[in-house]
Structure 1
């Protein structure tokens, strides 16, 4: 089953003889949400803990992420911060030398 981005259910989800398809689709959507949540936690951890000389403002991150200001404060964990740290050098730039401002970081360790 593939994700239908049009906002409607996949055609085969309506099969009354296979109710498991709806549950499988819901499980697939939850897995996608979990991946996005993980990515968001790491971006917020980077923006709050590793951007120098000042972290991104809580209000800006809250608006961009759909969280409250207090939600931004508690959204990421020390583990998320630790996972982002090896990607950085001491200047706050990614270890590959780019500033990480592009939408998707595509540099590798060999760049």
Structure 2
């Protein structure tokens, strides 16, 4: 009986260590991706600027409202209300400029326009 208990305890510890190791690897990968994105000169430039939400609203109306709705509450594209609570600034920048989420087109605003758009999105 003691041998079965020792084997069970050993298995529990090995499983816990394996889960912790996987968790650590995931954290390191996420941090690496974040650092990689932060090293992008465009992203760094955008994040260094102060955005104007009024200008950002205008940019949104011209480029985004057709799919995300004039009130950013969604149409073809999803609602963007509270999007800055769900996504980081870097993720939002990547989403806008990558075009990797069909049917969203690739859009490359200049850094100030992107900073303005982020400022508007944060106000939603």
TM tier, smaller: 0.3 to 0.5
Question: What is the TM-score with the length of structure 1 in the denominator?
Answer: 0.37
Q: Which has the higher contact order (CA 8 A, sep 6+)?
A: 2
User: Rg larger in 1 or in 2?
Assistant: 2
Question: What is the TM-score with the length of structure 2 in the denominator?
Answer: 0.34
Q: Which has the higher helix share?
A: 2
